[in-house]
Structure 1
Amino acid sequence: MYQAWAPAAGPRLRLAALAAVATAWPQDTPSWPKFPGRKVQVLNGTWQFAFLGDVPLSAGIEVADVATDAVEVPDAFDMRPEVPRCGCWPEAEACELCCGRGFGTFGSSQCWQALPEEDRTAGFEQCCGPSPLRYRRGVALYRSFVQVPAKSSGLLLFGACTLRCLVAVDGVFLADHSGLSAFNVPVPASESTLRTVTVLVDNRFNQVTHPVHQLKYDWYQAGGLIRAVQFHSLRGLVYLQAVEVFPRSAAEVEVDFRLSVAAENVQGLHFRWRFDDTAEGCSWQQWPTVSCCSSNTSVPDAKLWTPQQPHLHRLKVALLLGEELLDCQEVRFGLRTLEAKGREIRLNGQKLSLFGLNRHDLWSSAVLTQEQLVQDVQLLKNLGANFVRGAHYAQDQRFLDLCDEQGLLVWEEVLGWQNTPQDFADGIFMMQSLKLADEMVAASVNHPSVIFFGFFNEGRSDDPSPATEAAYHSMSQRLRERSKSSRLISWGSNAAANDRYLHYADVCSFHAYPAWYPSDAPGNLEEVKGIPLIWEAYGRYVAELFPEKPLLITEAGAGGLYGHHGPSEEKWSEEYQSLLMQMHYLSIFTNPSIAGLALWQFADVPIDRQTSSEEHRPRGLNNKGVLSLSRQPKLAFQALRLLRNRKEGEYFGLILPPEDSERLTGLFKV
């Protein structure tokens, strides 16, 4: 059991200041839905924090007398942004030499030759400013306070808490959650008007307690309260858990109301609603009445959601008992239809040609500002992308809101990467994965931009064991049923023709990295020349065995070190990366048997240095981004943008440096 908060020594928050802190929280939710029937407090701001180190995670940890510092939540405590004080940015040569890419290594001694040996570490600290918790793993304590009406129950909404967290309010343990997804924690009523929220976060890997996170995953998995936290004060135990809108045509929707458990025993509940209500608050008195928890209805003044014209509707729902308002919620949705028909993916009956990139929700930190999210969406649009694959976990709801508004189509998937038959036979892994699937759908079901739900990225779908088949069957069935077939279900497969479970997918989604792996081998122009043949073979295979399923290429690409230039056949150069990215693009968009492409990847991302060597992941990064870590464009970004934005009749072929054009133009022929 957690202990109640008590003052500790040092420069800490004092009891006299707690009320002021607890009443200063913002009230506007950072993403949809909105909650006009509740007192909402967004707990983004100053929390108490302590790193407890390599101790067992337990609800019995004594925290009352732990000395704490102030931090700003959202926070990734092992990945706090580091801005070098020597006036450079991560990809600049000066920082690469002095600080190392991750600002956590000493870097090259060339930087410190002018300093006496005993002063070099101090010089590194002064210039690079490394965080003492950068890449540290262990248990961290977060604690905050919120002012609420007396005797009111509540709901804590976590955008994400990773890797595993224990949640308590007023010293009472309430929840244990693992994985990267949004989740809610009911909070019992109390006589107190000042509630203490305590979260213990464990960012260590543990195959027994939270096997959904694994060290081998190919990105840095940060620990902390990495997305928004909200506290909702409720009017009682009966409330709306969710309002879910499923478009059934260009003008009709099915609306489901999900109620709290306590509502099961209450008679006389009913609903009122209004579409596209512009009034503030919840003035439900004149709204139409709906008596059941699922209803089909027409949307007044219905407008389609399309990538070109992403029109969004809103629905406000009031939950009532007699004339008493119990809760009110407003959701946003788009009217669109989606289907996989033969070789095509169709949106509103029109064939889609998908082009985009895989994107991790990472910069140099796992905590992204609204400005960074907007910048990423603008860069995708500037490139000419209409599609983004969210890798490899549930996406930030703010990002999905932006995709809804900008008409970007999205693939969202359950946390996972190259999972094994041993994982699929592990009951804890499967239980947590299915729970994450439920949470992902619950959070994202009203986003019209999300057209795919995926899972088990590059899992062992070639394995014939009963546990593996059961895993693919149960996950595809769970996502399909929970989303009421409003999304296409698939997984990124590197098994291709050896994949045993494609009959469970709506779309075949294949990965391949020709002419790249092994990444330490020299570039081979014959392999580059063979890229179109590989995609042709994949297209023929799917057409013959699964003629009713479209084919997507959901990963293909190459690494390129930002700022490193050389001949177009030199691996790790920006030129070689650009050549391969263009070959994939040109091959796939001249192949009518393939419905689209998501290149790997949007931007460079940090990896855990324990999982890969500098030889394969230079600078501590997965360098396959067409943008650098800080979103500086590489040659591949510029070439792809030219190809995507060309006008009809303009040149369609490889864009090469002048010194390479004569030698390499013949690699691809339209």
Structure 2
Amino acid sequence: MFPAMRLARLARLAHLALALAPAAAWPSDPPSFPQFPGRQVSVLNGTWDFAFLGDVALEEISQDAEWQKVSVPDAFDLRGFTCRCEPCSCCDRSMGHRGRAECWGDRREMVGGVWVYEEHPEAQFEACCQPEPLYLKRGVAMYRTQLDTLGTAALLLFGGCTLRCVVMVDGVVLEDHAGLSPFQVEVPAGGGESGARTLLVIVDNRFGETHPVHQPKYDWYQAGGIIRPVQFHELPSKEPLYISYVHVYPRSLATVDVKLKTSGPLDGISLRWRLDDESGCQESLAWPEMAPEGAAGLRVPDAEPWSPSSPSLRRLSVAMLRDTQVLDCICVRFGLRRVEAQGHQILLNQKPVKLLGFNRHDMIDSPVMTYDELVADVEILKELGANFVRGAHYAQDQRFLDLCDVYGLLVWEEVLGWQNTASDFENTLFMAQSMRMATELALASGNHPSVILLGFFNEGESFDQSEATTVAYHAMAQHLRRHTGNTRLIGYGSNHAGQDQQLNAVDVYAFHLYLAWYPTTQPADAEDVEGIPGIWDQVRQWSLQAGEKPMLITEAGAGGLFGHHTDGKWSEEYQARVLRSHLEAAIHNPQIAGEDQLLTGNFQPSKDPW
């Protein structure tokens, strides 16, 4: 946790004689799940106070800061560009790495269907588009907002805050969080007669020993800030009595187990439940009782299975009552679906399914994504014919998973990580933070029927046979199984086909090979492309040494430049041939359970020098 001796210094930050801004309007989202009819819920997306302090120690943060207004969610080091020429859409990075081509300026001539410039197009982009002052800056920042509350106990729910986030309310440090996963903070009653409370979030987007789960080598830009929505949940009482979570685990296509946890002992408190409640818990006194630990074998009437072709969803409400007072009530959404590994096949609802789709990063201009942008991503995946998406390489936005539930997209979700080493697995803080993220991922995503696979340690050193590595892989796999009621398949993306030593830890084998692509400096070879299916078959045969389990191709592909048309690498044509060959390897080989390509859209790995 945060050093106790520094609390007094940090506490004063919450009481600066500066105007405090309550959270104001931000693009509103439809109601998401879970829903909390027993709580007073405030979505804190909107205008906050913000100050960037730079490369300072968190223990020595100065009160003398230059505050400005920003919109939260916010990635302060990826706020984009300001246009200095027309049209302004030229600086929209979602149009490609250099924005819109017609904005690059100073064209010389068109050669072979491609514009040739006097200067490199990136120079033209920068001449027109001025980056925000904090673009790619690393350091400490502060976010602050004023809460008008009832003064009761409360909860803060963060969808994502990176890299390291210290959460303070009224000058008291309540949480010190590292990683990218949803997390919850319990807030004691307070606020005095006015009910006014100050929320301060200190964000550190530098890489360091305090949060080793973030590393500069990871191959995507790791932005800093409150990057996903924040909610403030006020409870009816000054006592922190609430339902921590409710998980619904299908045990057949008509029955479920319900597992729940409350914040404390249930002396004098009852739990009641109802399926598909329409009253917002107003009728909970008449509901049947539920045991404190949940229920087993609960039958769902009029049961319909959830599947990509028919994503049928149901709701379960659980209320916590003391006599006639509703202390809390949670409504979760779930689907009746079962996923199993059987021989070389993945079974969904007892039928074989071939998983075909794409890897996806949670990023357009930045990792701050609106609901409409998430909808667009899901609709693109469906339009491409995908039934599967792999969230690379961290816990996914819960709004995105809600959409996958509704649209019928199957999901691989994974714990933050990339090419982690044996030294990482020996690092007790790295492992503790990784396990915490796994727990938070499982708690947040436990009711999403779309999430059928959970992964971890993407492209880690699974070839290593040391005790630390072996324990790390097995412990993480068991941790995820235990925290999801054994309702998901467990795997990890491996780039060590032929050498991997940890395959017995998981339910599904998953391999990465960029055949006919790397090294990109070698010329294109038609035979390499044609040989892709055969090599994947060899990988499959090798994997059987560890036992017969389903095998997925979880990363494969090639790069291509827009408008580049040749027979060589980096052309659209060559990219299409490589992607087609990988896809055919999965479709036509019954021993391969599926494939997802890298990526759904234009993407550039991080070149962050820090």
Distance 2:166 2:40 in 1: 24
The residue correspondences of 1:593-604 to structure 2 (distance < 5 A) are 593-604=591-602
Partner amino acid for 2:427? D
Partner amino acid for 2:594? G
Partner of 1:647 in structure 2? none
2:220 aligned counterpart, secondary structure: coil
Partner of 2:188 in structure 1? 188
Q: Is the 8 A contact 1:25 1:42 kept in 2?
A: no
2:498 aligned counterpart, secondary structure: helix
Indicate the larger mover: 275-284 or 515-524: 275-284
Task: Answer yes or no: is 1:574 the counterpart of 2:546.
Answer: no
Which segments of 5 or more consecutive residues in structure 1 lack a partner in the other structure? Answer: 100-107, 114-120, 613-670
TM-aligned CA deviation for residue 27 of structure 1: 9.8
Distance 1:563 1:145 in 2: 50
Partner amino acid for 1:68? W
Against the structure 1 CA distance between its residues 593 and 291, is the aligned structure 2 distance closer, same or farther, given a 3 Å change threshold?
closer
Count of residue correspondences? 579
2:360 aligned counterpart, secondary structure: strand
Partner of 1:66 in structure 2? 65
2:576 aligned counterpart, secondary structure: helix
TM-aligned CA deviation for residue 224 of structure 1: 0.3
2:423 aligned counterpart, secondary structure: helix
Once the two structures are superposed, residues 262-312 of structure 1 have per-residue CA deviations (whole angstroms, 9 ceiling, x without a partner) of x23x41322111101122453312211223322021112221111100000
Distance 1:112 1:50 in 2: 35
Task: Answer yes or no: is 1:197 the counterpart of 2:202.
Answer: no
Q: Is the 8 A contact 2:446 2:484 kept in 1?
A: yes
1:429 aligned counterpart, secondary structure: helix
Partner amino acid for 1:599? Q
2:585 equivalent among 577, 584, 587: 587
TM-aligned CA deviation for residue 97 of structure 1: 6.5
Task: Answer yes or no: is 1:179 the counterpart of 2:179.
Answer: yes
Task: Answer yes or no: is 1:301 the counterpart of 2:306.
Answer: no
Distance 1:597 1:154 in 2: 44
How big is the alpha-carbon RMSD for the aligned residues of Structure 1 and Structure 2?
2.4
Distance 1:199 1:521 in 2: 48
1:412 aligned counterpart, secondary structure: strand
Q: TM-score by structure 1 length?
A: 0.83
Partner of 1:458 in structure 2? 459
Partner of 1:230 in structure 2? 231
Distance 1:98 1:225 in 2: 39
1:250 equivalent among 253, 265, 274: 253
TM-aligned CA deviation for residue 598 of structure 1: 0.7
Q: Is the 8 A contact 1:364 1:606 kept in 2?
A: no
Partner of 2:603 in structure 1? 605
Partner amino acid for 1:93? A
Partner amino acid for 2:574? Y
Which segments of 5 or more consecutive residues in structure 2 lack a partner in the other structure? Answer: 1-6, 108-115
TM-aligned CA deviation for residue 530 of structure 1: 1.4
Partner of 2:244 in structure 1? 241
TM-aligned CA deviation for residue 95 of structure 1: 4.6
Task: Answer yes or no: is 1:92 the counterpart of 2:92.
Answer: no
Q: TM-score by structure 2 length?
A: 0.90
Distance 2:491 2:126 in 1: 47
Q: Is the 8 A contact 1:313 1:334 kept in 2?
A: yes
Against the structure 1 CA distance between its residues 25 and 357, is the aligned structure 2 distance closer, same or farther, given a 3 Å change threshold?
closer
Q: Is the 8 A contact 2:82 2:132 kept in 1?
A: no
Partner of 1:259 in structure 2? 262
Against the structure 1 CA distance between its residues 281 and 221, is the aligned structure 2 distance closer, same or farther, given a 3 Å change threshold?
same
TM-aligned CA deviation for residue 127 of structure 1: 2.7
Distance 1:559 1:125 in 2: 24
Once the two structures are superposed, residues 553-579 of structure 1 have per-residue CA deviations (whole angstroms, 9 ceiling, x without a partner) of 101101111222222xx1111111111
TM-aligned CA deviation for residue 438 of structure 1: 0.3
Distance 1:368 1:392 in 2: 16
TM-aligned CA deviation for residue 541 of structure 1: 2.0
Partner amino acid for 2:101? E
Indicate the larger mover: 472-481 or 316-325: 316-325
2:144 aligned counterpart, secondary structure: strand
Once the two structures are superposed, residues 320-371 of structure 1 have per-residue CA deviations (whole angstroms, 9 ceiling, x without a partner) of 1232211111100000111001111001101001100000001121101111
Partner of 1:46 in structure 2? 47
TM-aligned CA deviation for residue 6 of structure 1: 4.8
Partner of 2:473 in structure 1? 472
1:589 aligned counterpart, secondary structure: helix
Against the structure 1 CA distance between its residues 353 and 183, is the aligned structure 2 distance closer, same or farther, given a 3 Å change threshold?
same
Partner of 2:449 in structure 1? 448
Distance 1:535 1:248 in 2: 34
Partner of 1:356 in structure 2? 357
Once the two structures are superposed, residues 90-133 of structure 1 have per-residue CA deviations (whole angstroms, 9 ceiling, x without a partner) of 4533455789xxxxxxxx994699xxxxxxx9x97783131111
Partner of 1:36 in structure 2? 37
Distance 1:189 1:294 in 2: 28
Partner of 1:149 in structure 2? 150
2:207 aligned counterpart, secondary structure: coil
Once the two structures are superposed, residues 204-236 of structure 1 have per-residue CA deviations (whole angstroms, 9 ceiling, x without a partner) of 111x11110111111111100000011111123
Q: Is the 8 A contact 1:29 1:40 kept in 2?
A: no
Once the two structures are superposed, residues 403-460 of structure 1 have per-residue CA deviations (whole angstroms, 9 ceiling, x without a partner) of 0000000000000001111111111111100000000000000000000010000000
